[in-house]
Structure 1
């Protein structure tokens, strides 16, 4: 039996349950390809699933190989797949991606544009597509004031850039000066530390408007209690888009309060993950924008595959600034 290197979760728990392992070399079935991964994406959801969270929505059970995709080269194709894919550089959504090789549906892979490296492409797999979908949901407009919470995260840092390019004035909210500095570098006019008490009032003040009324649009990449405070920054008649679960759940916004303030509330994930075709189109757009230099992922940390534990531990401590990746 030929084996490949991987990371396994053998029981739910903290980062220490991520252990190096060898698993059987995958084979492509009908309509599938085998991708030799160069870089695996790491997202916060990976850490929640590893801890045992979300079983009602994400039915994973140990032992399993975590990860939901990455970037690499097509090694083999299955029945019904054009052999011309072999040797092409692709971004591949696929489960079990903390591994040297992964099986992906041929219909879901996307070729990496020329001039874009594996790391940048892998960083766009989830966060790039999410940022595009967020921008659409929020209806970014020129001359509006937009607050981006978790502005130094993988998706948030891209939303900052998309809002800047749309001609909006960006207020970034993040924890700590390192993250705030990154947000300013990416185009935020103002940056507010949300570890400080009353930060939401400060955000409304810097946003301007009548009596510091608040922002026209807020993106909540945090969820939970912090997400509720993000909602408080929105001016009457504004828009609030939430997608974050970093506190273990979405922001629970009172519908009556939203109606009284005439604030439009959109939960990007309320109906479950977007359809595959929708996400794929958003990924293609994100990759093209990155290849053109319009947006760039902020890759804050890369780790060898065997050190996946360190990647998760850093995310848990909120120590990672920007995107985390595993180099295979």
Structure 2
């Protein structure tokens, strides 16, 4: 089979399309003929040798990727034979191996792909979608909310825009460049603004003034930096700042916004990081990750959330990494063998 192999940490060019041995499923595992593999910003950091997220640096050489969808083609000892031939999607967890034509995963991590979803959409929902569902547990949006969504053309951002519109909220989507802002507008945002334009906060303020409201009620912040700070400046008194990333600092190497003492308290604004253990605790249950995955796939199956996907051929994984790092993508980035 073919797979993307990383022999040394470094630039995207270090990702090589190679022929390698087909993996064998162990006890309780299945082998999937991969039809789609997810690419995550975390993958770009790990490729560079940067430990900035929950996943450890892999032993080299390695095949990156932790999100796969396809058809079960082989079973390990003791695995339920009913899985054979089914369309499935799975998050591989801390064990990479997704950028390949074949991937092995524990059967307990499998989800059936709902009818009406293709494999690329299912991959988008198993990782990006589950994170979105976790963020929404904290947001508790209503029709009274006015939400600002930076990176609204991204994988999570595009889902947040859709959910907010589903509940009747007013949505202000921020994105970089005309193509992305047009995409955000098509997703249903009430206002789509190019944050590359230095005057974008004034455009948002004029929009809010037209509605005679003092400001937005919530900012979904995965960007941080100057765009994030400007968005927080547009919050009304009592607004909420939900943080789930800080991509403006580079792939997981930056940090969340730092506010001066009392800066937010004076305006009654709360700022909360909602990733990691905090999100898992909020999801609850014996397996909170799976709970969020199941909810995410159900939203897509019902048509309430439609994942936006940008596909790259598997052999072009390096191009996918470069595009993602340079913010040249829209929606979830997916590799297709």
Within the candidate set 273, 297, 300, 1:290 is matched to 300
Residue 251 in structure 1 maps to residue 256 in structure 2? yes
Taking the aligned partners of 2:264 and 2:232, their CA distance within structure 1 comes to 9
CA offset at residue 52 of structure 1?
A: 2.1
The structure-2 alpha-carbon separation of the partners of 1:253 and 1:242, relative to structure 1 and needing over 3 Å to count, comes to same
Which region of structure 1 is more displaced relative to structure 2, 43-52 or 54-63?
Answer: 54-63
Gaps of 5+ in 2: none
Q: Distance in 2 between matches of 1:74 and 1:208?
A: 55
**Residue in 1 that maps onto 2:154:** 153
Match of 2:291 in 1: 281
1:273 deviation in Å? 7.3
| 3-state SS, counterpart of residue 35 of structure 1 | strand
In the alignment, what sits opposite 1:323? 332
Aligned residue-pair number: 324
Residue 267 of structure 1 corresponds to 273
Which sits farther off after the overlay, 104-113 or 242-251? 242-251
Matches of 2:206 and 2:43, distance apart in 1: 36
Give, in whole Å, the separation in 1 of the partners of 2:9 and 2:239: 40
Aligned-residue CA RMSD in angstroms? 2.2
Residue 307 in 1 paired to residue 316 in 2?
Answer: yes
Give the equivalent residue in structure 2 for 1:65: 63
User: CA separation of 1:57/1:130 partners in 2, compared to 1, >3 Å: closer, same or farther?
Assistant: closer
In 1: Cα distance, 2:245 partner to 2:134 partner? 14
TM-score, normalization by structure 2: 0.88
Residues 266 and 56 of structure 1: is their aligned pair in 2 closer, same or farther, counting only changes over 3 Å?
closer
Q: Alignment partner of 1:53: what SS?
A: coil
**Larger relative contact order (CA 8 Å, sep ≥ 6):** 2
The match for 1:170 is 171
Change (3 A) 1:37 1:201: same
CA separation of 1:258/1:106 partners in 2, compared to 1, >3 Å: closer, same or farther? farther
Question: Per the alignment, do residues 56 and 150 of structure 1 end up closer, same or farther by CA in structure 2, a change over 3 Å counting?
Answer: closer
Q: Secondary structure at the match of 1:257?
A: coil
Report the TM-score, using the length of structure 1 for normalisation: 0.91
Residue by residue over 1:92-131, the C-alpha shift from the partner in whole angstroms, topping out at 9 and shown as x without a partner, is 1112100111121222211111121112111212111122
Residues 227, 251 of structure 1: 8 Å contact kept: no
Measure the CA separation in 2 of the matches of 1:155 and 1:52: 25
User: What residue is the counterpart of 2:120 in the other structure?
Assistant: 119
Q: Which residue of 2 aligns with 1:87?
A: 85
> What is the distance in 2 between the residues matched to 1:80 and 1:187?
48
Is the Cα contact below 8 Å between 1:174 and 1:180 reproduced in 2? yes
CA pair 57-250 structure 1, distance change in 2 beyond 3 A: same
Question: Is 1:131 the equivalent of 2:132?
Answer: yes
Q: Distance in 2 between matches of 1:134 and 1:58?
A: 20
CA distance in structure 1 between the partners assigned to 2:224 and 2:29 by the alignment: 35
Task: Give the 3 Å change call, closer, same or farther, for CA 98–113 of structure 1 in structure 2.
Answer: same
Q: How many Å separate the matches in 1 of 2:280 and 2:72?
A: 25
Report the alpha carbon displacement of residue 8 of structure 1 after superposing the two structures with TM: 1.3
CA distance in 1 between partners of 2:30 and 2:125 (Å): 20
Instruction: Find the counterpart in structure 1 of residue 20 from structure 2.
Output: 23
What SS does structure 1 have at the residue aligned with 2:129? helix
Which residue number in structure 2 is paired with residue 239 of structure 1?
240
SS of corresponding position for 1:107? helix
Conserved? CA contact 1:228–1:253, under 8 Å: no
Q: Does 1:230 align with 2:231?
A: yes
Matched residue SS, 1:70 = strand
Task: Give the distance between the partners of 2:202 and 2:46, measured in 1 at CA.
Answer: 34
